[in-house]
Amino acid sequence: MSEPLRLGVIGCGMIAQAHAAAIRLLQEDGVVRAVAAADPDDDGVERFAAIVGGLERRSRDGLDIVRDDEVDAVVLITPTRFHRDYVLAVAAAGKPLFTEKPLAPTFPVVRELCTAVAASGIPAQVGFQSRFHPIVRRLREIVETGELGAPMGYTLRDDQYWPTGAIVPGHTSWRSDVAEAGGGALLEHSIHSCDVLGWIFGPVSRIYGTKRHVFGYTVEDTAALTIEHDNGVVGNLVTIFNGVRGREERRLEVFFEQGALELTTDFVVGAPEDSLLIQRPDQPAERVDVAALRAEWFTRDGCDPERQVWVYQFFAHRAFAQSLQAGRAPSPGFADALHAHAMVEAGYRSCERRVPVELSEVLGDA
Ligand SMILES: NC(=O)c1ccc[n+]([C@@H]2O[C@H](COP(=O)([O-])OP(=O)(O)OC[C@H]3O[C@@H](n4cnc5c(N)ncnc54)[C@H](O)[C@@H]3O)[C@@H](O)[C@H]2O)c1
């Protein structure tokens, strides 16, 4: 077996704890080893260190991680506005990168980072962990095999409690400020769904969007998109940051030529909300055993189905390390992120202009 991939982590806040839980399990498997972490907040680093165990080096400056000769790959988990400088530094250093989404608050910076990463040739993965959800994977398999015929249209609802300190004690509040976050429910949260929709139904051609700011922040808490894909599939996405603490769900209904399905997913492995219902012609609807489905996908992935994994970041980090070991480009990568960001940007431009916006305009004019 090859040596564990030595990870250096920049940013040890809220979601870094999910990464830490994933990394800890992968350390047990000898796949990775967290050797260094940086955050201006010492408590954050200590919290991260307590979860992963055995952290060798700590810093308040993320550039120490980039410069560290004993860090093989960098994991970037700072608030979104700090991604730019670190991504450029990691690309310049030629190190593999696993970065959280969104790539940046504004689309021109997203373009800049995608160009820099492509030019540098570094292997880079983006934190769209929904792609590793067994129900999402099963849906993609149904679309790819055509077992229900071609997909025709879909309706998707994302909702999440407001992930900001004013609503959830202990959370930071940068997500409420458009200058820091770049956007609200659509960019910060539903970029995951934009990625999933592009991954499953293919590239998007056109988007019409509208949004609201019900809670009075500078970022939107409510947005609705009508989405047209290049292959003709049409759908809509409604995303809400609401006041119901603890709630974060994706509800998707897909209509095919010969069937329909309804799925609900949550961000935690084995969440009670998870469900999948498949309707075929002239048959009672099949309520899929999601625990069995999860065990099947764990097994297909070479992971013990009894393993106590609670975050999909486990599969994302595992795929990242395996890609580097095999010399493959990690996935989802920056090109995937560019498409998801272009969907969000087209949505925002459409909200401003109140007319549909072509993705070719967004991708061509930056
Ligand atoms: N994939 C997902 O589902 C998911 C979920 C939540 C957050 N995120 C993304 O992860 C990133 C972090 O979000 P969070 O919720 O953990 O934020 P957070 O505010 O809870 O934590 C961010 C941490 O980064 C630290 N930090 C700030 N400036 C820094 C700098 N210059 N260098 C190093 N560290 C610095 C802060 O001190 C803090 O500890 C964001 O981009 C967010 O959009 C992704």
Domain assignment present for residue 364? The answer is no
pLDDT at 1: 60
Report whether residue 14 contacts ligand 1, using a CB cutoff of 6 Å. Answer: yes
Domain assignment present for residue 325? The answer is no
For residue range 316-337, list pLDDT tens digits in order: 999 999 999 999 999 999 999 9
Residue 292 pLDDT exceeds 60: yes
Same domain, 138 and 228: yes
Report whether residue 259 contacts ligand 1, using a CB cutoff of 6 Å. Answer: no
Domain assignment present for residue 201? The answer is yes
Report whether residue 108 contacts ligand 1, using a CB cutoff of 6 Å. Answer: no
Cβ atoms 67, 95 nearer than 8 A: no
For residue range 188-227, list pLDDT tens digits in order: 999 999 999 999 999 999 999 999 999 999 999 999 999 9
Choosing from 83, 106, 129, the residue where a domain stops is 129
Domain assignment present for residue 210? The answer is yes
**CA separation for the pair 238, 186 (Å, rounded):** 9
Domain assignment present for residue 318? The answer is no
CATH of the domain at 197: 3.30.360.10
Residue nearest to atom 18 of ligand 1 (CA): 13
Same domain, 136 and 109: no
Average pLDDT, the chain: 96
Same domain, 113 and 154: no
Query: What is 229-260 written as a DSSP string?
Result: ETTS-EEEEEEEEES-TT-EEEEEEEEETTEE
Report whether residue 40 contacts ligand 1, using a CB cutoff of 6 Å. Answer: yes
Same domain, 113 and 143: no
State in Å: Cα 78 to ligand 1 middle: 4
Domain assignment present for residue 314? The answer is no
Average pLDDT over residues 68-87: 98
**CA separation for the pair 25, 21 (Å, rounded):** 7
Q: Name the band, by pLDDT with cuts 50, 70 and 90, for residue 252.
A: very high
Same domain, 124 and 137: no
Residue 366 pLDDT exceeds 50: no
Q: What amino acid occupies position 106?
A: T
Give the N- to C-terminal CA distance of the chain in Å, as an integer.
45
Cβ atoms 197, 211 nearer than 8 A: no
Report whether residue 100 contacts ligand 1, using a CB cutoff of 6 Å. Answer: yes
Same domain, 231 and 197: yes
**CA separation for the pair 357, 302 (Å, rounded):** 42
Residue of 9, 15, 314 to test ligand 1 pocket, by largest number of atoms within 8 Å of CB = 15
Same domain, 141 and 205: yes
Identify the domain containing residue 177 by its residue range.
Answer: 130-303+342-349
Choosing from 80, 96, 129, the residue where a domain stops is 129
Choosing from 129, 163, 194, the residue where a domain stops is 129
Average pLDDT over residues 303-309: 91
Average pLDDT over residues 112-119: 98
CATH of the domain at 96: 3.40.50.720
State in Å: Cα 283 to ligand 1 middle: 47
Edge-first strand order for the sheet with 151-161 is 286-287, 275-279, 259-266, 248-256, 151-161, 234-242, 222-229, 204-212, 357-358
Same domain, 173 and 125: no
Report whether residue 89 contacts ligand 1, using a CB cutoff of 6 Å. Answer: no
Q: What's the number of domains the chain is made of?
A: 2
Residue nearest to atom 2 of ligand 1 (CA): 127
Same domain, 98 and 165: no
Q: Name the band, by pLDDT with cuts 50, 70 and 90, for residue 47.
A: very high
Average pLDDT over residues 26-53: 98
Report whether residue 38 contacts ligand 1, using a CB cutoff of 6 Å. Answer: yes
Domain assignment present for residue 366? The answer is no
Other CB atoms within 10 A of residue 42 CB: 11
Same domain, 85 and 148: no
Domain assignment present for residue 281? The answer is yes
Cis peptide before 332 (omega within 30 of 0): yes
Same domain, 47 and 182: no
State in Å: Cα 172 to ligand 1 middle: 9
Same domain, 144 and 237: yes
Residue nearest to atom 31 of ligand 1 (CA): 82
With a CB cutoff of 8 Å and minimum separation 6, the contacts of 125 are: 97, 98, 99, 316, 319, 320, 323, 330, 331, 332, 333
